Structures are given as C-alpha cells and as structure tokens.
Amino acid sequence: METLSNMYDWVVQALRVADMLPDFTSPRGIFCAIAWLSTLLSLVMLAISIFSDFGGDDVDVTDGDTGSLSVRALVGFALGLGWGGFIAVQAGAGVGLSILIGLLLGIVMFFIVAGVMRAIYSLKSDGSLDYSSLVGMTGTVYVSIPPHGEPGGQVQVAHPSQMITMPAVQEGDVPLPAMTRIEVVSATTYQLLVRPVSATSQEK
C-alpha cells in the first residue's frame, strides 16, 4: 500500500508541475478533467477490445456493436473537447474561444472515430462467413498440400462475396502442388478438407 501511495503522490506531483492536474474550480481544470477521464475510458475500451480478440470468439455485427460504436464515438468527442479546450486555455485563449475550439475538435474526433469503427465492423461483418457454404466449391492450391491429412497447405477459393485463402488438408497419398484445381469436401472456421478435381470433372 505504501508503494501505491508513493506512486500516486508522484503522479499527482508530476501533473501539478506540468500544470495538468484536473480540478473543477477553473475552465482549465474542467477541460483537463474531461481530457483525462475520456483518455482513461478510451484506454479501458482498448484493453477490453484487445482481450476480447485474444479470447478468439467471433464478433457478430449486431445492435450491440452499434451501441459500442456510439460509445466510442462519444468518447472520441470528449477527447477532442477536453484536450482541445485544455490546449487552447493553456495557449492563452479565452473561455469562449476555448470551448468553441474544444467543440470543433470534439466533432471532428467524433466523426473520425465513428468512421474508423464502422470500417472495422464492416470488415468483421465480411469475415463472418458461413464456411459450410464453401463445400462443393472449387479453387486452386496456393501452398502445396501434404498427403495423409498433414497440415501446412493452403488453398484459394473464389466465394461469391470474396476471394478466400485458407489452410487446407487432403486425404490423398501424394502432395497436391500449387495451382492444382481442388474441390472443397468439408469446411470449418479454421481449415478446409479438399480433394483434387480430375481433368474429366473439370471438362464436365
């Protein structure tokens, strides 16, 4: 506890020396409080996102994500408002001008964050593929596939929505070299089982 107390005292002293200690008695302090609070919230949300990705669960693009987008965009607005207003006050601007600068920067940050998050969620949506729909499709060996179900190979399949490159295995006795035409026999989120497409089948 003593170590934590010393760290807290050191942080407070450093902020006081840098004139970045938040308070609610002056415009500078209020802007500073908004800036630090929004910064802390953004770091917490970033940490949650990182740990969610490490968890390996698929993310559905639902109303929950829309809510998350709105929260992140609002935090972005608060970041712009807080830091923009604080920097303006520190630079000698009046309270009215500092508020205006903070609001303008906050609006810019809101739309930047909203745009970036929509792009990310759009990519996630594109990635939420029904892998069972790949069964029966044909493609091409991208990285040579070893025999007897050994891992290491990759194939490319032209799904109607996108070109997909995925790990693949096969049950044959000989390797399938790159550029070999294949058909998908079964599919999971992580791997495809394929077989070579014979010349006769391709002619048909």
Query: What is the domain-level CATH number for residue 190?
Result: 2.40.50.140
Whether residues 105 and 135 share a domain: the answer is no
Whether residues 122 and 43 share a domain: the answer is yes
Determine the average pLDDT of the residues in 180-189.
88
pLDDT band per the 50, 70, 90 thresholds, residue 7: low
Whether residues 148 and 65 share a domain: the answer is no
| Mean pLDDT score across all residues of the chain | 77
The pTM (predicted TM-score) of the whole model is 0.49
End-of-domain residue from the set 83, 101, 127? 127
End-of-domain residue from the set 112, 127, 142? 127
Whether residues 155 and 83 share a domain: the answer is no
Q: According to the model, what pLDDT value does residue 69 have?
A: 58
Q: According to the model, what pLDDT value does residue 84 have?
A: 92
Whether residues 96 and 196 share a domain: the answer is no
Whether residues 29 and 106 share a domain: the answer is yes
End-of-domain residue from the set 103, 127, 151? 127
pLDDT single digits (tens) 50-81: 665 444 333 333 334 444 457 888 888 999 99
Whether residues 123 and 137 share a domain: the answer is no
Whether residues 118 and 136 share a domain: the answer is no
Whether residues 33 and 74 share a domain: the answer is yes
What is the DSSP secondary-structure string of the chain?
-HHHHHHHHHHHHHHHHTT----SSSHHHHHHHHHHHHHHHHHHHHHHHHHHHHHT-----SHHHHHHHHHHHHHHHHHHHHHHHHHHHHTT--HHHHHHHHHHHHHHHHHHHHHHHHHHHHHHHHH---GGGGTT-EEEEEE-BPSTT-S-EEEEEEETTEEEEEEEEE-SSS-B-TT-EEEEEEE-SS-EEEEEPPHHHHH-
Residue 143: give the domain boundaries.
131-203
Number of structural domains (the chain) is 2
pLDDT single digits (tens) 94-151: 889 999 999 999 999 988 888 887 766 555 544 556 778 888 888 999 889 999 888 8
Whether residues 37 and 118 share a domain: the answer is yes
Whether residues 145 and 119 share a domain: the answer is no
Whether residues 170 and 76 share a domain: the answer is no
